[in-house]
Amino acid sequence: MPDSPALDRLRAAARDPRAYVAQWREAHRGHQVVGVMPMNFPREIAVAAGVLAVTITDDQQPVGEGRAYLPEFYCGYTRNLADQAATGRLDHFDAVLLADHCIQLLGASDVARALDDTTPVFFGMLISSLSDTWAPAKIAEMMGQFRHEFEQLTGRRITDADLREAVEVCNRDRALLRRLLDERAAGDATWSPVELVDLVTSAQVMDPREHHALLVEAVAAAGDTRVRDDRVRVHLSGHLCHAPRRELLEVIEDSGAVVVDDDLWTGRRFAQTAVPLGEEEDPMDAIGRWYAERNVDLPCPTRVQHEVDWDVWLVEATRRSGAEAVIHLMPKFCEPHMLFYPELRKSLDAADIPQLLVETEHEGIPLESLRTRLEALVERTLRRRPAHV
């Protein structure tokens, strides 16, 4: 475990965003803090406006009061968001913003809007059908609207130079995270899955300049501890918009598997795509292309694009990383994931890749029965390895 003071600070921000927001406000008086929802929010525009954009995570508190506002068949993340809104746990934000994502998240943001009429909630309707000829114009229009919202919130104009700098800052931070994920896929076992989730989650919470400086320090302190071992190499797939519980990630590796890649929101899905900003290019155009291209780099079941498919991407990802098995982490009642899952299963079966579906619940999962299922997957996968001569 590559512990260091820098890693401690990143971990603290990931696990207690509220405390980080309080510190940041103290150090940046007069600047606003907004809560944003995963996955499509263009945080570069917030950075350009001098606003701290904090992805609102599942804070893993039991759903109490919020239970009254959303049906039981909404996913745990959205019910937790409703509970946060109902109990004032979003009151450290000056506004809440979301870019189109899924129906259930819309429901949660409506609850936030209804319960707190002092915190503005802005819903940016980004086009979800990305193959349409009119998609680029629609995306540009909505990105412009986000820019306008931030100008209204802060009372200052966002210049192209502000945007250009924000894009560079965010790209640099994502690039280092991507490098760590790529190194893991290539066999580097320096960071455990829990540590990598903390590194990525902290990037979704912190000022990207501060995050990057700490990340550089944490990576340097970790040194060169690449240990490749014989455990079964697995790819984690799913959890589109919040982190799997730490104990779940730990039990996966305790069962004889090593996580080599993922497509989690708190992993590759966040870090995969940089804003493709050319020297002469309008930064707003580049931010619009980022939105469209991230679905090509790593397809999302909430978007529609005829040229790409999550199942094809997943099979290719296992080939790139040498993953021997796939573990699907599906939050209970996550409709986009449920709708895609049969296709994922079919493609992996056709490619002869062992897989296991784990349905996760906000309230937790029985770890001992899960351990048995994971050990069975490990055994099954080990038996496929060629016998040693």
Q: Site residues (CB under 6 A) for ligand SF4?
A: 75, 77-78, 102, 104-105, 240-241, 331, 334-337
Contact residues for 208 (Cβ-Cβ < 8 A; gap 6+): 43, 47, 169, 170, 172, 173
Nearest distance, CB of residue 238 and ligand SF4, angstroms: 9
Say if strands 121-124 and 232-238 run parallel, antiparallel, or are unpaired: unpaired
If the CB atoms of residues 102 and 252 are measured against ligand SF4, the closer one turns out to be 102
If the CB atoms of residues 74 and 150 are measured against ligand SF4, the closer one turns out to be 74
DSSP structure string for 90-117: TTT-SEEEEES--HHHHHHHHHHHHH-T
Nearest distance, CB of residue 262 and ligand SF4, angstroms: 15
If the CB atoms of residues 212 and 239 are measured against ligand SF4, the closer one turns out to be 239
- What residue type is assigned to position 184 of the chain? R
Alpha-carbon gap, residue 98 to 83, rounded angstroms: 17
Nearest distance, CB of residue 56 and ligand SF4, angstroms: 11
Contact residues for 46 (Cβ-Cβ < 8 A; gap 6+): 34, 36, 52, 53, 150
Nearest distance, CB of residue 241 and ligand SF4, angstroms: 4
Q: Is 58 exposed, middle or buried (0-12, 13-18, 19+ CB in 10 A)?
A: buried
Nearest distance, CB of residue 330 and ligand SF4, angstroms: 9
If the CB atoms of residues 182 and 359 are measured against ligand SF4, the closer one turns out to be 359
If the CB atoms of residues 55 and 190 are measured against ligand SF4, the closer one turns out to be 55
- Per this entry, what is the length of the chain? 389
If the CB atoms of residues 241 and 271 are measured against ligand SF4, the closer one turns out to be 241
The answer to whether residues 358 and 327 touch, using CB atoms and an 8 Å cutoff, is yes
Kindly list the distances between the CA atom of residue 352 and the CA atoms of 48, 316, 345, in Å, as whole numbers in the listed order. 47, 13, 10
Contact residues for 370 (Cβ-Cβ < 8 A; gap 6+): 248, 251, 358
The answer to whether residues 241 and 38 touch, using CB atoms and an 8 Å cutoff, is yes
If the CB atoms of residues 102 and 166 are measured against ligand SF4, the closer one turns out to be 102
Nearest distance, CB of residue 301 and ligand SF4, angstroms: 8
The answer to whether residues 219 and 339 touch, using CB atoms and an 8 Å cutoff, is no
The answer to whether residues 160 and 282 touch, using CB atoms and an 8 Å cutoff, is yes
Nearest distance, CB of residue 269 and ligand SF4, angstroms: 11
Angle 242-243-246 (CA atoms, 0-180°, nearest 5)? 155
If the CB atoms of residues 75 and 287 are measured against ligand SF4, the closer one turns out to be 75
If the CB atoms of residues 75 and 251 are measured against ligand SF4, the closer one turns out to be 75
Any idea what DSSP says for residue 387? P
Nearest distance, CB of residue 375 and ligand SF4, angstroms: 27
If the CB atoms of residues 104 and 237 are measured against ligand SF4, the closer one turns out to be 104
Alpha-carbon gap, residue 185 to 112, rounded angstroms: 39
Nearest distance, CB of residue 76 and ligand SF4, angstroms: 8
* Residue 122: strand pairing partners: 97
Nearest distance, CB of residue 336 and ligand SF4, angstroms: 5
Among 142, 87, 109, residue whose Cα is nearest residue 36: 109
